[in-house]
Amino acid sequence: MKRGHTSILIFGLIGIIVFLGIINLLAVKAYAISKKEKCYAACATGFEGCKASCPMDPLGPIGPTYVSCVEKCKDKADECRKKCDSPDLTIKDWWVVPDAAPEKLTNEVESGRSYKVCFIVANIGMSSSSSFNVSGAGLGISYNPTQLHDSLAPGQTREGCLEYSTTPPPGVYKLGIKADASNVLAESNEKNNERIEDITVFHPKKLEKEAEHVAESVGLPDLVITNIYCSQKNLAFIVKNLGLGYFTKSPIGKYRTNVKVWISPPGNENIIGLDSLSEVNKSGGGVTQPGGSSSFVTSIEIGTESFVELTIDPDNRIKEGNENNNVYGRRIGPCEIKEREHPKRKATPKE
């Protein structure tokens, strides 16, 4: 495209943008003028009706009773016209973010968590406002969160949000969000600045679940396979108790649980009673103690390199603090008998 054509296109776009801006400004102004004219007309009609209702004085229109009544009607008309030249701020709506129950049309938050109250403030009056603030009640906090706003033209709306760092205890409360909370603006209606709605504070679901999990875990063992290795030709492994409770044996000294062994190749599976295995080593008092571990040797020989996966307590016979960490696997082998190396003897020097 030639440079001249490009310039024409740019100027054309700028012209359209300016034109649309002027149209929008005129529309806002026309809205305000139209409402003001209607307001002035209503004030004039009210004045005429008020004057017509004044009782006629014996002295006629100059009588003190009639004159006093007409003066009162004029004062009312003046107040009416002042309202025509005043803004009128109101909170059209407010909602919470995040909403603990978004499927509902009401406002719900989770106890103890921070949240925002977002709102729409509108000027439904017939004149622009000056700057103002929007404030929320101090629900669960020691202050009223406040946000400053620039002026609003007649018919204009704006969104904002107030920060709440925490909540009161669970329950249902009333929360009010108020425009011009400092009451610095002279408005046509001073009684519609605040919107009050219910807000429900729920019990903290996530914290409750975590608390339940912790409560269940206290005093329970937690069996974990920490290593798989070769003991000569045989498969061996270490079980550790990561829990806070004792892994108690039966009255006759039995472990009462199994270990599941899966080996590939050949891809077969065996379930072996822990009591049938040789417990060759203990650390920290053994696996029955919190933090203790025991080493067990099986009769399974690993003749080739294989992937071995072990599951301790596969039938969930033992109640544990964590039931999701019982599986461990790794590649080992081939397992072979290693002969002891004898230290070389020094040659005896010949005499």
Phi first, then psi, for residue 214 (nearest 5°) are -65, -40
Evaluate whether residue 347 is within a structural domain: no
Is 225 found in the same domain as 200?
Answer: no
Domain co-membership, 317 together with 222:
yes
pLDDT of residue 7: 58
Q: List, for residues 240-294, the tens digit of each pLDDT value.
A: 999 988 888 776 778 889 999 999 888 788 999 998 998 999 999 999 999 999 9
Give residues with Cβ within 8 angstroms of 50, minimum separation 6.
72, 73, 76, 77
Q: Where is the domain boundary, 149, 177, 207?
A: 207
Look up residue 201 and give its two tokens: 């504070």
Mean confidence (pLDDT) of the chain: 84
Q: Are residues 141 and 238 both part of a single domain?
A: no
pLDDT at 18 (0 to 100): 58
Tokens of 66: 């009639």
Identify whether 4 is part of a domain: no
Do 107 and 192 lie in a common domain?
yes
Helix residue ranges, H only, 139-252 = 205-217
The boundaries of the domain holding residue 79 are 30-85
Structure tokens at 128: 């622009």
Note whether 189 and 226 are same-domain residues: no
- For residues 106 and 68, membership in a common domain is answered with no
What is residue 317's predicted lDDT score, i.e. its pLDDT? 85
133 and 189 assigned to the same domain: yes
pLDDT on residue 346:
45
In a domain, residue 20? The reply is no
CATH of the domain at 121: 2.60.40.10
Q: What is the DSSP letter of 102?
A: T
Q: Let me know if residue 223 belongs to a domain.
A: yes
Q: Is 23 inside any structural domain? A: no
Query: Do 102 and 41 have their domain in common?
Result: no
Residue 93: per-residue pLDDT:
93
| pTM, 2 dp | 0.46
Q: What is the pLDDT along the chain (351 residues), one digit of tens a residue?
A: 444 555 566 656 666 665 555 555 554 445 445 777 888 888 989 889 998 999 888 887 888 888 899 999 999 888 888 888 899 999 999 999 988 887 677 899 999 889 999 999 999 998 999 999 999 998 989 999 999 999 999 999 999 999 999 999 999 999 999 999 999 999 989 999 999 999 999 886 544 554 444 444 557 899 999 999 999 999 999 999 999 888 887 767 788 899 999 998 887 889 999 989 989 999 999 999 999 999 999 999 999 989 899 999 998 888 888 888 999 999 898 998 876 555 554 444 444
Any domain includes 19: no
Beta strands per DSSP E along 124-193: 132-136, 146-149, 157-164, 171-179
Q: Is residue 322 part of a domain?
A: yes
56 and 97 share a domain?
A: no
Residue 17, pLDDT score? 62
| C-alpha span between 278 and 168 (Å, rounded) | 59
- Same structural domain, 192 and 112: yes
Does the N-terminal peptide bond of residue 251 adopt cis geometry, omega within 30 degrees of 0?
A: no
Q: Say how many domains are in the chain.
A: 3
Same structural domain for residues 121 and 108? yes
- Are the beta carbons of 221 and 239 closer than 8 angstroms? no
One domain for residues 62 and 124: no
> Would you say residue 24 lies in a domain?
no
